[in-house]
Structure 1
């Protein structure tokens, strides 16, 4: 069915792929009609050895439906929004997607599967107080879809097979399918960080053990949100001041890069040729270590003390001239510990330390002229530390619960400091802002959470550069909050300085919206009882009848984006018109991993066929409606398996 799926512009059908892999490995488990035989499959499992009553499994109501939801292809696509993008020509893969994240993840699947090095998400904590997502899921499905603008003209863009009365009826059914897709997107050496608190951490670990497999659990990191109770009173006289970061790898190939060692505390006052050093105590009094002895070669004085180091090692340091003896009898020898001795980077520890959320909130408010735009964002410094130890160079970082856009700012800050080119992909649901949800954001002119995401990224870019930083150092009260669709950033009055414009030219990002497919064929109802050849012929007639008028009015760029994305090309592809083709508009397309030729003209000219002969080693994509039987035959003979007809 690959040809049919390509014609329908389907995103990958993960369930069909799993069955196909199983069939290749164990063909005897399938019937002559190609269907999986449950009885034969049970024989392989041998239920007598694994009694159902003794089997460990994490189950909940709706789990099967949630899993099916993850593996169901979407009919949606991603539509480029040029008006809200910033310096798209220098975006270098930085992307913000406005839309429901489950469907957006499916749209990314064909192009980004196995290409995301790091995922960070801060999902709803299921407390009933979350600002971004209605994480109690008490709304009816239609009102929810209307709230996030996931319907258009009554056409549903989600992949729910049935209307169960509630969309994402509980927290587990919300997070499970998204994690299944997240794993598909990760590289083999990829990693996911998930922010969570005590409400759901135990259930989240159970889900992650299933999705990512228990051996790939890396750590449950803990970070402190505040120093103390800070005047809070609780019924049980205990105030939580920590949150967690669950860390899972895609496979055993992942390992942290380590933390760069600082020169703080090191110096070289005696100009030792071995370089920077610091004083290191050798004695450990009262800890039960054995006693060792060192003799000062200049004075002959003996120093006996408890130490974890062996006598051999102490003697070695003494002979190397790395031991300093005290000037009086009340102290013990110390050794010179050289920075060059450290062959490896510093290890990450599971207690990450204090990252006060109050401070991170104030930092965000500072970006928005002290307007309380968004409550309790995650600290940029915390995410920055994660990305520094897990990513490098051109890695992609994905956040599909983007919120205010902390992930983007952290990635940009990392790149600014180490001169790497990490890229971010953010997905944020366009939940409406009201006076009830956020009065400050509403009064500042923001209509959706995703507008805050986009605007924060603009302002973070501006802040990273010197001239913007100088402007930001002025009194915040002199600046006014701006609308997300305004190209100004931290503007004074109504003008934008030259420094701001120059700073924004250096970094950019593209904005995409989750939208209905550009092709009516996605609504074609398949009758799978018919042979594939019959289905393709029926589909061709449907396309000819329904899409002919549409193509005359279609946006060429939008069509190209959808066709290329669903055929595995990343959104930062480069497109140039092929100069050797004279009578058709044929584009050369290239992304980081692949390239092709594509033409969406309504007919392919005979002259074009001749000119394509020199390019026959490339993949060629064109529309079915552009081909008569003769041209189709000739193109198939020229490109063979590299011809993709949509």
Structure 2
């Protein structure tokens, strides 16, 4: 039997180019030779009319496009390290651990390009909706400038893999590469973001006139122009303000593309054309006293107004026009309506026929009353923090509207330009309003706040600090405000809850929120890899130096004083396990063993210095289970023998 070669664990994110090359090889094997694309054969096959041979081609080109492609191809070497203390505003380790295990929401601090690369393997085809609010390139914005020729220390600092924040520089209009720099930044991030979308997923991008034309062109190239959905127009402000221009721009755009236009499922715009036909449930006129029909005097529970009793116009006890049993059936059928009167009484109505509702296509011009303006977003921040600590946040009402377009209420939303985390706030608020189970992933660079800003004075040294704190406060506010009736309607209509079950949940609302609403989050930070790095040799280095470095990496592949848990998370990220994987340390067969479980997959990791075949077999792991250990822990014989039953990967 031939020896089974041991596979090494992945030390970087996956190579995007290799994956696409493999797809091409499966469809057109004759165009891939010796692991390379045969471009001459490919062009000859598709260029029957000689069109491609010409020099004139339609498309968008800019100085730096090759850098954008390189940004896609170069794998990320960093890792994502868990930050339990940042994840939940809890005072005890146990409370933090409980919150960590419960929540499925994710906040990741670090450069979004690196993070997107690290998410490719574990979240590909998993995201239903992406919403981003990137820099508009107004001449005052900070933009990410990706540099692949810098030294390691500069790279770590720029991408947020070191302690402290990142000082950003503005992309001014006087720059000779003003639009080019913005395009070079956006292209790889949009490309990698699209990879994460499910086939029925969509991406929404907020933008204004500065770059909307360029954004459309690169999204046409990345998504395919046939997958353009809409350019929504959002009135971002109401007043014209002071302007020296002939016109005042009051709107922005939200550009929407689908991964596959034929697979998306948007909701319709539901419009009510007339009021409900209804009649009072309280008896009036003759026989309207309590004593006239004692069995028809009872309370009707309202989530908004509490217990409602029938009351005559003079304030004395009245009676209902239906029995308790009939009223209960009306309530279960959602045919009761409660309206507060000018005199303070609450009138109960029986709905005879619901108002006529029609389905129409969504308007491309958004309803200002529904989605609000930037000023509304600023008020939301001010209410949460009692001050202005973030400029020009999008209102949650805008993001909630975009969420409502998706004909589903149980999916992942991604925002990799998180800012103050409006998206996270909106997802949690929308779930509280309609009983949904949506989840979010937010990515934000630890960009420094200005030292003279209100945010810095309040203790928020980076935008990521503001992001996390907003999510905590938003969750607390949702608990304080309580659940609206829409939440319970969602339980009835979407999940089929009976009225008795809904009433029980309503009566124990605090426990309901704790059990069913996910208001927490796991916090991760982009960090330097735990794998020992190869030091680039110079002309002055000799063969002895080379051999020393090879020996060091072979014998000690991990950095000095490594943290086992941090390495476990690096392995799970780069081996394609999700960030909500269950991670636990066990004592089994005399070994310290880490178990990783995620969506039906399982992996075991040990850092034992030496392993025998007997020790590994005593673990009684299922056949083909992924088993990770140090390469130096196994001799050749043990590698061969345990490799027959387990999927062994070595560090």
TM-score after normalising by structure 1:
0.72
Alignment of 1:278-297 (within 5 A): none
Q: Which moved more, 1:18-27 or 1:444-453?
A: 18-27
> What is the CA deviation profile of residues 416-445 of structure 1, one whole-angstrom value per residue up to 9, with x for unaligned ones?
122222111111111111235xx2112112
SS in 1 for 2:37: coil
Question: Aligned partners of 1:149, 1:73: CA distance in 2, in Å?
Answer: 14
Match in the other structure for 2:433: 417
Contact in 1 for aligned 2:532/2:558 (Cα 8 Å) = no
Pick one of 85, 107, 111 that aligns with 2:122: 111
Contact in 1 for aligned 2:103/2:518 (Cα 8 Å) = no
SS in 1 for 2:224: helix
Match in the other structure for 2:532: 520
Matched, 1:429 2:451: no
Alignment of 1:115-134 (within 5 A): 115-130=126-141, 133-134=142-143
SS in 2 for 1:638: coil
* Alpha-carbon distance change, 630 to 538 in structure 1, aligned in 2, over 3 angstroms: farther
Matched, 1:560 2:568: yes
* Alpha-carbon distance change, 4 to 63 in structure 1, aligned in 2, over 3 angstroms: farther
* Alpha-carbon distance change, 585 to 364 in structure 1, aligned in 2, over 3 angstroms: same
Pick one of 454, 457, 469 that aligns with 1:443: 457
Match in the other structure for 2:603: 596
* Alpha-carbon distance change, 390 to 174 in structure 1, aligned in 2, over 3 angstroms: same
Match in the other structure for 2:44: 43
SS in 1 for 2:476: helix
Match in the other structure for 1:626: 633
Question: Aligned partners of 1:555, 1:468: CA distance in 2, in Å?
Answer: 42
SS in 1 for 2:59: coil
Question: Aligned partners of 1:339, 1:523: CA distance in 2, in Å?
Answer: 73
Superposed CA RMSD: 3.8
Matched, 1:636 2:643: yes
Pick one of 176, 192, 203 that aligns with 2:214: 203
* Alpha-carbon distance change, 38 to 136 in structure 1, aligned in 2, over 3 angstroms: closer
Alignment of 1:226-625 (within 5 A): 226-229=237-240, 231-236=241-246, 238-258=247-267, 261=270, 265-269=274-278, 339=354, 347-354=361-368, 355-369=372-386, 371-390=387-406, 392-435=408-451, 439-466=453-480, 507-521=519-533, 541-547=551-557, 550=560, 553-577=561-585, 581-592=588-599, 594-613=601-620, 615-625=622-632
Contact in 2 for aligned 1:461/1:503 (Cα 8 Å) = no
Contact in 2 for aligned 1:221/1:352 (Cα 8 Å) = yes
Question: Aligned partners of 1:84, 1:357: CA distance in 2, in Å?
Answer: 28
Where do 5+ consecutive residues of structure 1 fail to align? 157-164, 272-335, 470-497, 526-536
> What is the CA deviation profile of residues 196-236 of structure 1, one whole-angstrom value per residue up to 9, with x for unaligned ones?
0011001100000000111111111111112341x423232
> What is the CA deviation profile of residues 433-478 of structure 1, one whole-angstrom value per residue up to 9, with x for unaligned ones?
1235xx2112112111111111111111111012799xxxxxxxxx
SS in 2 for 1:351: coil
Give the Å deviation of 1:359.
Answer: 1.9
Question: Aligned partners of 2:533, 2:154: CA distance in 1, in Å?
Answer: 26
Pick one of 47, 65, 68 that aligns with 2:67: 65
Pick one of 85, 104, 110 that aligns with 1:93: 104
Matched, 1:224 2:235: yes
SS in 1 for 2:129: strand
> What is the CA deviation profile of residues 24-79 of structure 1, one whole-angstrom value per residue up to 9, with x for unaligned ones?
33332244x44333322221232713453442111111112211211210111111
Contact in 1 for aligned 2:623/2:645 (Cα 8 Å) = yes
Give the Å deviation of 1:18.
Answer: 1.6
Contact in 1 for aligned 2:613/2:641 (Cα 8 Å) = no
Contact in 1 for aligned 2:421/2:468 (Cα 8 Å) = yes
Match in the other structure for 2:347: none
Give the Å deviation of 1:516.
Answer: 0.7
Question: Aligned partners of 1:74, 1:135: CA distance in 2, in Å?
Answer: 16
Question: Aligned partners of 1:117, 1:39: CA distance in 2, in Å?
Answer: 38
* Alpha-carbon distance change, 411 to 636 in structure 1, aligned in 2, over 3 angstroms: same
Question: Aligned partners of 1:25, 1:467: CA distance in 2, in Å?
Answer: 55
Matched, 1:12 2:14: yes
Contact in 1 for aligned 2:87/2:522 (Cα 8 Å) = yes
Match in the other structure for 1:479: none
Question: Aligned partners of 1:50, 1:61: CA distance in 2, in Å?
Answer: 22
Question: Aligned partners of 1:542, 1:167: CA distance in 2, in Å?
Answer: 45
Contact in 2 for aligned 1:168/1:174 (Cα 8 Å) = no
Question: Aligned partners of 2:213, 2:405: CA distance in 1, in Å?
Answer: 25
> What is the CA deviation profile of residues 282-329 of structure 1, one whole-angstrom value per residue up to 9, with x for unaligned ones?
xxxxxxxxxxxxxxxxxxxxxxxxxxxxxxxxxxxxxxxxxxxxxxxx
Give the Å deviation of 1:4.
Answer: 9.6
Give the Å deviation of 1:338.
Answer: 6.2
Question: Aligned partners of 1:610, 1:645: CA distance in 2, in Å?
Answer: 17
* Alpha-carbon distance change, 339 to 590 in structure 1, aligned in 2, over 3 angstroms: farther
SS in 1 for 2:275: coil
The number of aligned residues is 516
Question: Aligned partners of 1:616, 1:503: CA distance in 2, in Å?
Answer: 36
Contact in 2 for aligned 1:372/1:440 (Cα 8 Å) = yes
TM-score after normalising by structure 2:
0.71
* Alpha-carbon distance change, 137 to 110 in structure 1, aligned in 2, over 3 angstroms: closer
Question: Aligned partners of 1:608, 1:183: CA distance in 2, in Å?
Answer: 45
Question: Aligned partners of 2:602, 2:125: CA distance in 1, in Å?
Answer: 18
Where do 5+ consecutive residues of structure 2 fail to align? 89-95, 167-175, 281-350, 484-509, 538-546
* Alpha-carbon distance change, 70 to 337 in structure 1, aligned in 2, over 3 angstroms: farther
Give the Å deviation of 1:172.
Answer: 0.4
SS in 2 for 1:352: coil
Match in the other structure for 1:78: 80
Match in the other structure for 1:645: 650
